[in-house]
Chains A and B, each alone.
Chain A
């Protein structure tokens, strides 16, 4: 295989370079989309709506509102914070400022219900239920912030999927052309191999091995480039979106996470190379 590669160095270089570039851009987009998704998940896991309960409201009425919310919306969690819990939370948040702690007592803080929806899309219904309740004095939302982010992420996902898909398909097309050229150059060899008893598999194998090799090398190249781009330089193409200024990858940048990342790149690269070379040889042998 290495002899074949050495004897057509420019084709080999072109195959590796194109696949590396496609994988690199796909990786940056994929990790950015993954990071945005992580950010959204973390935002969605926080209480997205807080209903402040009127003073002198009984526990039964609060429980009734809780069940009403559970009936109408699929929520992840509804947590009741009594006036004492609210004071405790306030004290935790302001423990560095004794003056603020002195002035506040449990009586002036309202009890509340903190609601985390399963999806940000459910928040309007939650708002409707809470605003219609007679025991709720006020409702605070993160709805707008979340809604904005959801729309950003959806468009990133959509455009990213199209871009990544197009790049990967383009890589396969380039590999098809390169392997088509290689097969044209090896036409005589294929013919002779057939005549001296070579099976179809024996004809296919060197091309498939070459395709896998190009893809795997491109995977390594893409991993190194994207690691440098994301981890070393810390460049985030989505950094202009306020909530996404930094990466929030769903894995640790330790040896395990990096190994997984590299393995995925090499695996996808090898699959691309295999697909491109397989389709070329299949088409040739079919004719």
Chain B
């Protein structure tokens, strides 16, 4: 379970990204985070990853306060999370296989296990025949799928996806969503920040709307209503 208690994040330039956010995400949930650009969705996800600490408030994951985590406990937390970054964060000088293998190398898997798991992940995202290609040789949609493959490798407890369908055509977007649904059915919690109203409206999942750093609605089976006051 992930619990936010009165979490506020203020950046050094005085921008308030999140303001007194309280929220509980239960096990096995699939949650959409929606809201306009700059609303605080990415900050919300990166706080869970421990990329930075909140200015005030508390974030608990499975009962553990993660706001002051450092060193090995922080490393362990990050290993339990598969993150699809908005800017993908793929390594230009590594081929597709090596990019996906990164998270497994960090988990200390053997070469044989890495080969097997990367193969499976790439099969899932439909890129198993492009293992040796480099990011510069791939389209935006393919790169999104590589980032997703890296996130789902190693069976993380949580998948945090920041606009994973941002730059892809509808067919690719739906294939990404199907993979995330599939992973969620396997017991992984999925939190996905998105602007894709079609996806949100079709899936009938929990939808949390953030605007100006505040949660303005939180509905089970919610819909995407951008700019609704």
Contacts and interface: CB of A to CB of B under 8 A. Distances in A.
A199 B76 CA distance: 9
B44 to A, nearest CB: 16
Contact of B106 (A7, A188, A191, A193): A193
A7 to B, nearest CB: 6
Contact of B83 (A193, A195, A199, A202): A195
Contact of A189 (B51, B78, B83, B91): B91
A169 interface: no
A-side interface mostly:
helix
B20 to A, nearest CB: 26
Interface string B52-96: 000000000000000000001001111111010100010101000
Contacts of A202: 105-106
Nearest to B89: A192
A7 B93 contact: yes
Interface residues of B, number: 21
Contact of B103 (A189, A191, A196, A199): A196
Contact of A192 (B49, B81, B102): B102
Nearest to B77: A197
Given A196-B106, A197-B107, A202-B106, A188 B78 contact: no
A198 interface: yes
Given A7-B93, A188-B91, A195 B49 contact: yes
A12 to B, nearest CB: 14
B150 interface: yes
Interface of A: 7, 188-189, 191-199, 202
- Please give me the 4 A-B residue pairs with the lowest Cβ-Cβ distance, nearest first: A197-B79, A197-B78, A199-B75, A198-B106
11 contacts: A189-B91, A191-B89, A192-B91, A193-B106, A195-B78, A196-B106, A196-B150, A197-B76, A197-B79, A197-B81, A197-B106
Given A195-B85, A197-B107, 16 more contacts: A188-B91, A191-B89, A193-B102, A194-B78, A195-B51, A195-B83, A196-B79, A196-B103, A197-B75, A197-B76, A197-B77, A197-B79, A198-B106, A199-B106, A202-B105, A202-B106
